[in-house]
Chain A
Amino acid sequence: MKSIRRQLTLNLLTGFGLLLVCSMTAIYFLTRLALLKEFDASLQAKAWTIISATECGRDGIHVELPDDYFEKANEDATPQYYEMWQVDGGVCARSPSLTAVDLPRRFGRTDAPAYWNLPLPGGHAGRAIGLEFSPKAEDERDRRSAPPMAVIVVATDRQSLDRTLNTLAVVLIVAGILTVCITVPLINVSLQRGHAPLDQLSRQAATITAESLASRFSVATLPEELQPITSKLNDLLSRLEQSFERERRFSADLAHELRTPLAELRSHAEVELAWPQKSDAQNYREVLDIALQMEAMVSRLLELARGENGKIALRIETVPVAELMEEVWQPLAAKAATKRLAVHFSVPRDARVQTDRTLFRSILVNLLSNSVEYTPQAGRLTIEWQADLQKLTVANTVQDLSPDDLPHLFERLWRKDKSRTGTEHCGLGLALSREYASLLNLSLSASFTSDNSLALILQPARAGAGPPRGSETLTTDAC
């Protein structure tokens, strides 16, 4: 499993380790360079000591060093050797410590001597300097003629330098390892502290269940990096809470809706069993009515579920709106007349809409039957189709509805009448219509008009072209 803490620890350690290795290497090589430079300067000084003791006479080049010069030097821990040649001749001087072995004849200019490492005759590692020089003349006469050039190579044991460099390397490696060892817990502690708000968030999130969705994460106390995430989590919780609440209410309403017809059916059957009487059609009609009511509710719920899951196949065609409206209105006209409703239709006769006829018809049936059902006696009902906007408005006077009820109008099983008396409407029509509208890329909304009417508005969810303007309008008034 991926762990941010583990990943961060690994990345930090790798980065820190690389930085440490680079720094240590740089320290080592810079120190080595400085020490070598110092060592070489010391070699050069030795070479010049010998050169200054070298003279060129008629009998050739000879070195005037005290006899015990090299013996004393070699008594130290660092043996020293030198050998001198004439450029065009043989060896003219050499240290007594060089027995039969010659030093390599390698040299640079006086101002740029050659330095190199070499194995010393004793087997130790050594370092040498080689340069070409002009020895000073022994007397005045010799000075007048150009002196012959000579080459000197001075070598010395470099064990002490190597020991120093090795010690430095060991110190640096040990210091590096110790630093890494100390850094690991330090990084862990730092990350732990840095992650504390995340852990707190995690613990808080772990306590949230379906029953405690009302709780929210405290944003103010969190670091600013976590605040946007936590705010989003709080928003999510809020949406979840609303969704759970809606589902809970829906389940409770559904149970209630089914309990009453079930109670009717059961008590009806039990009464008939307890006090049997000659069976008549009325009994069966009662049972049939209850069954139809329950069937209608279950069917609508299934349709709603299918709509929500997008399982309804659409068949888009050109639908004549006025014709469809008349077809839908026909079975409702009698009830509207009984209630003495003032009905006003304003639908262009040639209005067309590209839609799925079945779903569009279902929406119209729901909107119109709802309006007829809930418009009070002698109320007003207006159905208007705006061809240019492809917008349908069904407005009717209302009695008990208030603007506070608008957000609930499209909730499943919501009914203004808390007693839920009556059997024809179960509060699913508008929820279903909105779902169908959404499938048809339409929006269904509700608003209150200035004359205290409820307007249900069906219109394209996104702007779209409507039929040509100035088309003929069918205007019908019915009372």
Chain B
Amino acid sequence: MRVLLVEDSQRLQASIGKALRRSGYAVDTSGDGETGLWLAESNDYDAVILDIMLPKLDGLALLRRLRQKGRQTPILLLTAKDRIEDRVTGLQSGADDYLVKPFALQELLARVQVLCRRQYGNKSSSIIVSDLEIDTTARVAKRAGKELDLTSREYMLLEYLALRQGHIVSRSEIETHIYNDSAELMSNAVDSAICTLRKKLEPGRPLIHTRRGLGYTLKEAL
């Protein structure tokens, strides 16, 4: 999952960015509204965490411009403005969620997760594909009732494929949504990650299928 964090406090940007990355998200950051808008328009994010009081372009203006251009990326407003009118204005401007500073990190992560899940039309915290069950709240995957030992990136890859079960997910989509930047990516990074995931999903019938030249799909074997 790729998340954009637009926050002018460098310290907050660093700690939230770290928490998101450690939770398996690919994170882009921006310290001002103009760069944030450019990033949000140029990339396909699963969620945007947006401060309101930003230099150059404030968060609400950024939000309105994105919505005017038809971008439906889920947006969470993260701000020190705590009045009811501020919340109402934020939500009416097109935000999907609103969180007031100071906040509990776990709550922020849970809300971001919900927004990402909702992006793919899944409202439940549980995704089931055949005998594979993914609990997105506990961030645990089980195959035939047995918990799988996954790294956070492997988990995010599995969750991403599961959220789009039955659809073909291209290699570049996986690169965009799972990896932080191109520096982390080797030419066969996605193939190798899929290979590792397949092994960890064994034994049992294969769930991840390759569509040559197109990408991968996760679905119950026919």
Contacts and interface: CB of A to CB of B under 8 A. Distances in A.
Most buried by A among B53, B54, B58: B53
Contacts of B70: none
A255 B82 contact: yes
17 contacts: A259-B101, A259-B102, A260-B101, A262-B101, A263-B9, A263-B102, A264-B9, A264-B12, A265-B102, A266-B103, A267-B102, A270-B15, A270-B104, A271-B22, A419-B8, A419-B55, A421-B54
Contacts of B102: 259, 262-263, 265-267
Interface of A: 252, 255-256, 259-260, 262-268, 270-271, 274-275, 286, 289-290, 417-421
B80 A267 contact: no
B103 A263 contact: yes
Given A263-B102, A264-B9, A275-B22, 5 more contacts: A260-B12, A263-B103, A264-B11, A268-B11, A274-B105
A430 B22 CA distance: 43
Contacts of A419: 8, 51, 53-55, 58
A271 B105 CA distance: 8
B97 to A, nearest CB: 16
Contacts of B105: 266-267, 270-271, 274
A270 B15 CA distance: 9
B22 A263 contact: no
The DSSP consensus for interface residues of chain A is: helix
Interface string B18-42: 1100100000000100000000000
A263 B104 contact: no
A274 B80 contact: no
A263 B10 CA distance: 12
Contacts of B82: 255, 259
B55 A263 contact: no
B81 interface: yes
B15 A267 contact: yes
Contacts of B8: 419, 421
A136 B87 CA distance: 126
A120 B102 CA distance: 112
A260 B9 contact: yes
B15 A420 contact: no
A421 B9 contact: yes
A418 B19 contact: no
B168 interface: no
A220 B55 CA distance: 48
B14 to A, nearest CB: 8
B12 A263 contact: yes
B83 interface: yes
A286 B9 CA distance: 12
Nearest to B18: A271
Nearest to B17: A271
B15 A421 contact: no
B16 interface: yes
A394 to B, nearest CB: 25
Nearest to A289: B11
Contact of A256 (B19, B81, B103): B81
A267 B104 CA distance: 7
B80 A256 contact: yes
Given A270-B105, A275-B22, A264 B53 contact: no
B9 A418 contact: no
A259 B82 CA distance: 10
